[in-house]
Structure 1
Amino acid sequence: MPSWSKKDERQYEHIKESKMDRGSSLERSKEVAARTVNKTRREEGRTPNSQTQGTGNPNTRLEDRTVEELRNLASELNIDGRSKMKKLELIDAIREKRSS
């Protein structure tokens, strides 16, 4: 785990166990717990960045990702004009870039 406090670690374990009790796999439970703890840390200002720098779960459809995640992905793909694109435009540009 990253530089989490004891409270963060307890929250992680609680969420992970709760998800597993509800039938989620261990892998999915760990992912949800870590994302939740990291989101809380960002919202509380305990991380250097106020927003995620990730591109979202690669198994998640583009339509289900945030605009920020899509912009980060577009940046990795060197798509020009991404900062001014709307969500659907980003999705189209990403799909076009991937298919070429």
Structure 2
Amino acid sequence: MPEWTEKDERQYEHIKESQLERGKSEDNAKEVAARTVNKQRRNEGRTPNTTTQGTGNPNTKLEDRTTDELRNRAAELRIKGRSKMRKAELIDAIRDAS
């Protein structure tokens, strides 16, 4: 696990518990919580990794995800031509493929 502050740990636990209350599995709740905390750390500049290698929080609307996250999701869905697509095109392609 990355070097999180006490505040990051509290945020992680809060999000995890919230996901469990919503009926998510333990593994899914942990993943959503970790992704959320790590994204917050990136946004605040507390980690050198400025781009994500994931697909974003699955509970977040596609419009609210970054282009990198959308491209990663498109790669999972094996959408051809994704590297040249704009954000709106990626969203449409992901919706068509899902």
TM-score (norm. length: structure 2): 0.61
Q: Which ranges of structure 1 fall in alignment gaps of 5 or more residues?
A: 96-100
RMSD across aligned positions (CA)? 3.1
Give the number of the structure whose alpha-carbon radius of gyration is greater.
1
Partner of 1:56: 55
Matching of residues 3-82 of structure 1 within 5 Å: 3-52=3-52, 54-56=53-55, 66-71=66-71, 82=83
Q: Which amino acid aligns with 2:16?
A: K
Q: Which ranges of structure 2 fall in alignment gaps of 5 or more residues?
A: none
TM-score (norm. length: structure 1): 0.60
- The 3 A distance-change label for structure 1 pair 12 and 86 is same
- The 3 A distance-change label for structure 1 pair 55 and 11 is closer
Q: SS at the partner of 2:24?
A: coil
Separation in 1 of the partners of 2:82 and 2:29? 36
The number of aligned residues is 83
Moved over 6 A (4+): none
- The 3 A distance-change label for structure 1 pair 80 and 5 is same
